[in-house]
Structure 1
Amino acid sequence: MEISGACNSHHSKEPTLWNTLTLAFQTLGVVYGDMGTSPLYVFADVFSKVPIESEVDVLGALSLVMYTIALLPLAKYIFVVLKANDNGEGGTFALYSLICRYAKVNKLPNHQPADEHISSFRLKLPTPELERALNIKENLERRSSLKTFLLLLVLMGTSMIIGDGILTPAISVMSAVSGLQGEIPGFGTNALVIVSIILLLLLFSIQRFGTGKVGFMFAPILFLWFFSLGAIGIYNVVTHDITVIRALNPFYIYLFFKKNSGDAWSALGGCVLCITGTYCH
């Protein structure tokens, strides 16, 4: 079957400036709310595995955090992952559904008659990119093992997101509440756990109102949080040691691993905490 031209009868309404600003404000309470809590426990976890013995340890760990954020959330997700969507919907199952509509790779028999036209089309004079895509599509449709492997990847990715959704709130809340230890007399481990459980129950109880309302509720709080982080950070850099900007040099990452060898690789697991939340939104 050949398709020489096609017309799209569906015209999506262009978002207005107000809608864009509203969505941007909501992301403060949803997406960046998860990312913004990471500074609470990243360095504590990193330096629990690598003791601070020289400025190389501090600058190397800071440089590692900065470039982890730059390479994964910024480079990978903004420039690559956001372009892969299913009519604006993202996520593991949305992308899997998109693949299943254009290739017969689904292990479950849910194909519709209209999918036959999508899955079997051929273009005139395909470009090299389209030719590679067709080859991949045909290999996926022909080999049952690749279909199973693709499904396992989808299930694994979804399981990791569910695991993050369970672990991250608990770690974030307990890390925040742990700041009260030492400040309030008698506030020990038992009190820390009880207060954290109460806060988590309150937070999860309001999820039923929807992401939009929750985002608007927490957006002003997160705005103050980020403003405070930025203001305090700038003040500390200017007041105490402005040479900390040397961490922008990725060479300190090499020095960090050279100095600490195996311990540095263990600390790398703690560094990944700085990007929690970026892969599930």
Structure 2
Amino acid sequence: MLPGALAALGIVFGDIGTSPLYTLQTVLTDTGTSDRATLLGSFSLLVWTMILVVAVKYAMVVMRADNKGEGGILALFSLVGGVFGKHWYSRGTLLSAAGLFGAALLYGDGAITPAISVLSAVEGIGVVTHSLDDYILPIATIILLGIFMVQPLGTARISRVFGPVMLLWFLCMGGLGAASLLGHPGVLVGLDPVFALRFLYEHGGRSLVILGAVFLSVTGAEALYADMSHVGRPSVRLALGLVVLPMLILSYAGQTAFLMSHPGVRDNPFFAAMPHALVLPMVILATFATIIASQAIITGAFTLTRQAIQLGWFPSLNIRQTSDAEYGQIYVSVVNWLLMVVTLLIALTFRSSDALSGAYGTAVSTTMLMTTLLIFDVMRARWAWPLWKALPVALFFGAIDLAFFVANLMKIGKGGYVPLLIGLFLYIVMTTWRRGTILLRAGLAPLGEGSEKLRQRLRDKTLTRTPGEAVFLSRYESALPPIVMRHAADFNCLPERVVALNVRFETVPRVAPEHRMTVKETGDGLWQINVRFGFVEVPNLYYVLSEAREKGCSVDLDKVVFVSGNDDVVKDLKRPKMFGPRRILFGFLYRNAVRASDRFTLPRERLIEVGHQVEI
């Protein structure tokens, strides 16, 4: 558990660990004052928000809802098994919309987190000397550009130092907070939640604005759940209780104590509270910490993309494994460069972490609300909790999430619309892709209706059999799927050995080897192979065929030819089944999706693509 806890500091807690760089400053800016009551109330709010949201909700409850060790909102979505129903108010539709929209919003968070984290770290230079203020944005831009540029190289080796660097960061952060706290230990009375409740009561309607700033302290909570498969649930909980939560509380307490002793200070309290000689070293360490936090977010976006592809909610993209030891180390080119462009645009548009704080939190607060909705269904359906037990828990967390959700909606005009627009666009992409693939399968299905006639021709030997063997990649669990029927109709022949290979991705992360595949000979030189992969597994069909050889399907891997479909999508002139713009979007996605040769690691020189027009 100890090595896992050390690794968790770098993989899981980067976002939360860098939140003290900007959170208290943002809270006080939104409050407008910094008197004793305000400081103690802000400190109390920050502490109890972290305890209730991070420690209680995510570490104790949500992390229990793992899918064979995998976490994240898509894994949670696969647990509830949501499918869109006929009506918008049906259970399946609501759960599906919650899961997909929550997942889509995480891409918005992935674009904003690197920008605000790096900007807040580099802005520490302004505490050393204001003569360098004009260089803060260019330096931050160069760092952000570098983070994305190194992604194709892989981060397996660099990630080994993530844990120790973040441990040093947490210890320094907590130590400096403790040093400031010694000068004003009375701040610890703010650990009483009464100060937080009184603070909210006294500020009335403005409390929602303040809560929007307080929420910045827990924006990385989703990472606890999404990345727990890398180190395991016990290691995440150990790191949280032993290092993360105590050091964060000390850091916020130290900043609060410093502001009480120096009420006229207007600089960032995180850097202003430390001795002048330590500011530049801490700026450098903070920059490394924010780079690690950004790396974790980017890697999380890659993982989320792969899960969405495997579950059938996203078109196939080229995914490259960058480590032979760590499964989670992958690279998705399209996601990386799009994230880079959006992140740089956000940084150059908002120009400072203070301005960017308005855009930050909207996506995560919405995702947290969606997570609560899904976890309630898991409590009832999976854990078999009675309603009297599940409902109070869901309502308690739901009330907290709803308060932060409404608070963050107040920031829409200040930039909160950015992650929401990104999330909405990706939600449309995912639902369009799913709907389009369903219509495509329905359009191909009639091609397999003449299977009995084809079998009769095979038995009567009236269909020419050509020498060799071919593996037909099929979407159907059938020995004569539509692609085989199409080939026979177009060429009036079939190879001597025909293997219909169906690949299906399950809603579990990994499939046990004994349940991986079934191999069946159906006569007349026809073989049917059904293979199953989990949604985090990388399929390799050569490995599948080598396993099939041991079960009697003697395919020559050096000579076999693969046949896959590559159809065109056109408008059904009589009864269009898809709204025009969505059909155009699906057609664009379908044409640019990774082909079978890339997704299943097949050689192009032995791949034949057969296609026709499908009306939708």
**TM-score, length of structure 2 as denominator length:** 0.34
* Structure 1 residues 185 and 83: alpha-carbon distance in aligned structure 2, compared to 1, 3 A threshold: closer
Q: How does 1:91-130 map to 2 (within 5 A)?
A: 91-100=72-81, 105-107=82-84
Does 2:156 match 1:156? no
Structure 2 residue matching 1:86: 3-state secondary structure: coil
Indicate the residue corresponding to 2:168 in structure 1: 224
Does 2:169 match 1:192? no
Q: In the TM superposition, what is the alpha-carbon distance from 1:208 to its structure 2 partner?
A: 4.5
Q: How does 1:16-95 map to 2 (within 5 A)?
A: 20-95=1-76
For each residue in 1:161-214, what CA deviation from the matched residue of structure 2 results, as whole angstroms up to 9, or x when unmatched?
A: 11111111110100111111253464234x222111111122233444657545
Q: 1:50 touches 1:267 (CA, 8 Å); kept in 2?
A: yes
Structure 2 residue matching 1:188: 3-state secondary structure: helix
* Structure 1 residues 66 and 142: alpha-carbon distance in aligned structure 2, compared to 1, 3 A threshold: same
Among 76, 84, 91, the residue aligned to 1:146: 91
Q: Between 46-55 and 64-73, report the one with greater CA deviation.
A: 46-55
* Structure 1 residues 260 and 164: alpha-carbon distance in aligned structure 2, compared to 1, 3 A threshold: same
Q: Between 176-185 and 260-269, report the one with greater CA deviation.
A: 176-185
User: For 2:13 and 2:155, how far apart are their aligned partners in 1?
Assistant: 13
Among 194, 209, 212, the residue aligned to 1:251: 194
Q: Which amino acid aligns with 1:27?
A: A
Indicate the residue corresponding to 2:206 in structure 1: 263
Q: 2:88 touches 2:94 (CA, 8 Å); kept in 1?
A: no
Indicate the residue corresponding to 1:272 in structure 2: 215
Q: Between 30-39 and 141-150, report the one with greater CA deviation.
A: 141-150
Q: Going by fraction, where is strand more abundant, 1 or 2? A: 2
For each residue in 1:89-125, what CA deviation from the matched residue of structure 2 results, as whole angstroms up to 9, or x when unmatched?
A: 111111222332xxxx434xxxxxxxxxxxxxxxxxx
Q: 2:72 touches 2:222 (CA, 8 Å); kept in 1?
A: no
Among 104, 107, 120, the residue aligned to 1:175: 120
* Structure 1 residues 252 and 182: alpha-carbon distance in aligned structure 2, compared to 1, 3 A threshold: closer
* Structure 1 residues 97 and 49: alpha-carbon distance in aligned structure 2, compared to 1, 3 A threshold: same
* Structure 1 residues 181 and 95: alpha-carbon distance in aligned structure 2, compared to 1, 3 A threshold: same
For each residue in 1:120-171, what CA deviation from the matched residue of structure 2 results, as whole angstroms up to 9, or x when unmatched?
A: xxxxxxxxxxxxxxxxxxxx89998322221110121112211111111110
User: For 1:144 and 1:249, how far apart are their aligned partners in 2?
Assistant: 42
Ranges in structure 2 where 5+ consecutive residues have no aligned partner: 227-616
User: For 1:144 and 1:181, how far apart are their aligned partners in 2?
Assistant: 52
User: For 1:141 and 1:197, how far apart are their aligned partners in 2?
Assistant: 47
User: For 1:241 and 1:227, how far apart are their aligned partners in 2?
Assistant: 20
* Structure 1 residues 250 and 144: alpha-carbon distance in aligned structure 2, compared to 1, 3 A threshold: closer
* Structure 1 residues 55 and 186: alpha-carbon distance in aligned structure 2, compared to 1, 3 A threshold: closer
Identity of aligned residues (%): 33
Aligned residues: 224
Indicate the residue corresponding to 1:165 in structure 2: 110
User: For 1:54 and 1:200, how far apart are their aligned partners in 2?
Assistant: 37
Q: 1:46 touches 1:267 (CA, 8 Å); kept in 2?
A: yes
Q: Which amino acid aligns with 2:196?
A: I
Q: In the TM superposition, what is the alpha-carbon distance from 1:242 to its structure 2 partner?
A: 0.6
Q: Which amino acid aligns with 1:44?
A: Q
Q: Going by fraction, where is helix more abundant, 1 or 2? A: 1
Bigger radius of gyration among the two: 2
Deviant stretches of 4+, over 3 Å: 140-144, 205-215
User: For 1:94 and 1:232, how far apart are their aligned partners in 2?
Assistant: 39
User: For 2:136 and 2:60, how far apart are their aligned partners in 1?
Assistant: 40
User: For 1:89 and 1:208, how far apart are their aligned partners in 2?
Assistant: 25
What CA RMSD, in Å, does the superposition of the two structures yield over aligned residues?
Answer: 2.3
Q: Which amino acid aligns with 1:169?
A: P
For each residue in 1:38-97, what CA deviation from the matched residue of structure 2 results, as whole angstroms up to 9, or x when unmatched?
A: 001111111111133521100000000000000011001111111101100111111222
For each residue in 1:234-259, what CA deviation from the matched residue of structure 2 results, as whole angstroms up to 9, or x when unmatched?
A: 11111x11110001111111221233
Among 137, 142, 146, the residue aligned to 1:202: 146
User: For 1:258 and 1:30, how far apart are their aligned partners in 2?
Assistant: 37
Ranges in structure 1 where 5+ consecutive residues have no aligned partner: 1-19, 108-139
Q: 1:28 touches 1:215 (CA, 8 Å); kept in 2?
A: no
Q: Which amino acid aligns with 2:215?
A: V
User: For 1:185 and 1:153, how far apart are their aligned partners in 2?
Assistant: 46
Q: 2:10 touches 2:166 (CA, 8 Å); kept in 1?
A: yes
Q: 1:35 touches 1:275 (CA, 8 Å); kept in 2?
A: yes
Q: 1:30 touches 1:211 (CA, 8 Å); kept in 2?
A: no
* Structure 1 residues 95 and 185: alpha-carbon distance in aligned structure 2, compared to 1, 3 A threshold: closer
User: For 1:85 and 1:229, how far apart are their aligned partners in 2?
Assistant: 32
